[in-house]
Amino acid sequence: MDISLALRFGAVAFVVLAILATAVQLRQPPTPAPMPAPPRPAAAADPLRAALARCQALGEAGASDAACLAAWAESRRRFLGAANPSEGR
């Protein structure tokens, strides 16, 4: 068998397989759209969350805002579960 004939046969087989794969893919039903995420609870339920959102909106200015510093300290206290050192032991 001549090498050029074998290459032509291989190319034709590849094209036929590509067409078959495309046809199979097109016959499958479309996948359903992903479910939307559940709504997040309102920030009004947690005043700390609202304060942190305000500080995030301030951007770099939030680093010098006293209310933001207090909100971040409270957030750290809640997350770490550490006792406030000013409360005493």
- 56-82 confidence digits (pLDDT tens): 999 999 999 999 999 999 999 999 986
Structural domain including 60 reads 44-87
Q: Is residue 3 part of a domain?
A: yes
User: Is the pLDDT reported for residue 41 higher than 70?
Assistant: no
Domain count, the chain: 2
Q: Do residues 63 and 57 lie in contact, with contact meaning Cβ atoms separated by under 8 Å?
A: no
CA distances from 29 to 3, 12, 17, 24, 25 (A): 42, 28, 21, 10, 9
52 lies in the same domain as 25: no
**Phi, psi values for residue 16, rounded to 5°:** -65, -45
pTM above 0.95, yes or no: no
Cβ neighbors of 74 (< 8 A, separation 6 or more) are 48
Question: In the chain, how many H helices and how many E strands?
Answer: 3, 0
